[in-house]
Amino acid sequence: MLEESMEKTATSTALSAGVSATYRLCITPRTATNHPKLLKSAHSAGLTQLTTIAHHRLYFLQGTLTLAEVEKIGHALLTDPVTEKLKIDNLGLTIDPHSQFTIHNSQFIIETTLLPGVTDPPAESLVRAAK
């Protein structure tokens, strides 16, 4: 089973001092759904032991943002309140957003991002809307 699993960290002291923090926003469906096309692709790639794949959208926000500001951006701009739910993790002051994650119960996390220099219209729209 492929599923998101992470530990929450707190850096409220750093945020109150106006220090930059990195937030990871994970948007998931309210009802668990399996993605047969992704599962078929995984099986074709030799990952035949997988039985379920859950697709989550990830966003990383970095700056001198408060948790309230991040929640507002997440709920107002990124999440459909009827069909989706939002989980926010404060990754603190790390450069590598993956450095504080722990994988539990033999589950795997696969996160993908665009390559540097690749155009990302949704991200550009998000930055404009958040201003």
For the stretch 40-75, pLDDT in tens is: 999 999 989 988 888 888 888 888 888 999 999 999
In a domain, 116, yes or no: yes
Distance CA 112, CA 98 (A): 12
In a domain, 44, yes or no: yes
Instruction: Specify the pLDDT at position 83.
Output: 94
pLDDT in tens, 80-99: 999 999 999 988 754 454 55
Chain mean position to CA 11: 18
Tokens 């990383």 identify what position?
A: 60
- For residue 34, what are the domain limits? 12-95+111-130
Distance CA 94, CA 6 (A): 15
| 28 in Cβ contact with 56 (< 8 Å) | yes
Instruction: Report the CATH number that the domain containing residue 74 is assigned in CATH.
Output: 3.30.1280.10
C-alpha R_g of the chain? 16
In a domain, 104, yes or no: no
In a domain, 101, yes or no: no
In a domain, 1, yes or no: no
